């Protein structure tokens, strides 16, 4: 039975990229922060299933909830970086991105006492136009990235990228978000909004197919706010954004329970850093 990687992007509801036009970054400290209670629920759920995971965590969150960072580490999970303030890599200059990943890594390492080896760009925002981001990650001592989604999407995606782990720079792996290859295209099969939108049986079948046909570990991701039915509703957002953010959040926790039962799960670093990988030159 293949071990898949379970990953959580630790950010709060008001920090999602789709809400950026509606919530000023300067107002974040005035928003009701719910990430701590939601991550504790996730930690308890993982304990119930004897499962370890990787928590890609914002430096902004870590600074405000240092005890939460210690809880993640003390309970045997991998702490990794999601950058500092959830700014898309594609919106930053190379110098600004370098400072963002360097500061987030330092904050997380100082609070946890552990080396931070993994990074995930907010909104999977590394693509063809900012491949220099990999140079910054290698320069700052990261060992792997999980920042490319090999699909066509209106906000992100690099459909021509390799579907599975490869060395993108010397000593730096890219572990793309999992897709199912069918009918000449890649289909998302790794969590997030698609996990809420699609019937659970379809999500399960796609991951089973990747495990059985490709013989590869899948990467599944979700956010703490996706289990929080009581989060404040954001006013003024469009119908498409409202649908994407709130659809089926009342079903996620039950689906996660089933997912943790149906598959074997582990941390990103345990699954990928010690495994032989192919060398690719797509980036």
In this predicted model, what pLDDT tens digit does every residue of 238-275 receive, in sequence order?
A: 998 898 898 999 999 999 999 999 999 999 999 999 76
- The pTM of this model reads 0.94
Q: Write down the pLDDT at residue 113.
A: 97
Q: Which two tokens stand for residue 5?
A: 């990687």
Give domain limits for the chain. Answer: 3-279
CA 232/CA 65 separation, integer angstroms: 20
Residue 277's pLDDT is what? 58
pLDDT tens for each residue of 104-154 = 999 999 999 999 999 999 999 999 899 999 999 999 999 999 999 887 655
The DSSP annotation for 87-156 comes to --GGGS-HHHHHHHHHHHHHHHHHHHSS---EE--GGG---GGGTHHHHHHHHTT--EE-----S--SS-
Q: What are phi and psi of 238, to 5 degrees?
A: -70, 165
**Is the pLDDT reported for residue 235 higher than 80?**
yes
Report d(CA 136, CA 148) in Å as an integer.
15
Angle subtended at Cα 281 by Cα 280 and Cα 282, rounded to the nearest 5 degrees: 100
The per-residue pLDDT for 1 is 87
Per-residue pLDDT of 83-106, as tens digits, reads: 999 999 999 999 999 999 999 999
CATH of the domain spanning 3-279, picked from 3.20.20.370, 3.40.50.2300, 2.40.160.20, 3.90.1300.10: 3.20.20.370
Residue with tokens 């010397």: 170
Give me the pLDDT at residue 283, please: 44
Region 7-31: mean pLDDT is 94
What CA–CA distance (Å, rounded) separates 155 from 161? 16
Contact call for residues 61 and 94 (beta carbons, < 8 A): no
Question: Measured between alpha carbons, how far is 7 from 76 in angstroms, rounded to an integer?
Answer: 14
> Is residue 44 within 8 Å of 80, Cβ to Cβ?
no
Residue 8 and residue 39: Cα distance in Å, rounded? 9
Q: Which helix (H) or strand (E) holds 208?
A: helix 200-209
Spatial distance between the Cα atoms of 32 and 12, rounded to a whole number of angstroms: 9
> Could you report the per-residue pLDDT of 160-210, keeping only the tens digit for each?
889 999 999 999 999 999 999 888 888 888 898 889 999 999 999 999 999
What pLDDT band is residue 158 in, cutting at 50, 70 and 90? confident
Considering Cα of 202, then 206, then 207, then 208, what sign does the dihedral take? positive
Tokens linked to 253: 């926790």
């Amino acid at each position: 039975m293949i071990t898949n990687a379970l990953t959580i992007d630790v950010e709060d509801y008001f920090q999602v990229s789709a809400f950026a036009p509606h919530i000023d970054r300067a107002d974040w400290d005035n928003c009701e922060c719910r990430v701590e209670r939601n991550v504790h629920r996730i930690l308890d759920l993982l304990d119930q299933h004897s499962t370890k995971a990787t928590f890609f965590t914002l430096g902004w969150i870590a600074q405000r909830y240092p005890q939460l960072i210690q809880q993640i580490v003390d309970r045997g999970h991998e702490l990794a970086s999601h950058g500092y303030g959830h700014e898309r890599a594609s919106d930053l200059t190379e110098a600004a991105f370098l400072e963002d990943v360097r500061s987030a890594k330092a904050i997380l390492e100082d609070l946890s006492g552990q080396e931070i080896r993994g990074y995930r760009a907010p909104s999977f925002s590394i693509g063809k136009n900012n491949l220099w981001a990999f140079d910054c990650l290698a320069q700052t001592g990261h060992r792997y990235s999980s920042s490319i989604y090999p699909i066509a999407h209106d906000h992100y995606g690099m459909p021509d990228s390799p579907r599975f782990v490869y060395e993108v720079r010397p000593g730096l792996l890219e572990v793309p978000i999992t897709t199912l290859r069918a009918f000449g295209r890649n289909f998302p099969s790794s969590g997030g909004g698609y996990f809420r939108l699609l019937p659970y049986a379809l999500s399960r079948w796609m991951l089973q197919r990747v495990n059985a046909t490709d013989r590869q570990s899948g990467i599944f991701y979700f956010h703490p706010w996706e289990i929080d039915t009581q989060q404040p509703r954001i006013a003024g957002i469009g119908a498409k954004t409202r649908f994407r953010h709130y659809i089926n959040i009342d079903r996620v926790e039950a689906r996660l329970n089933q997912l943790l039962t149906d598959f074997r799960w582990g941390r990103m670093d345990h699954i990928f850093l010690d495994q032989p990988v192919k060398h690719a030159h797509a980036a």
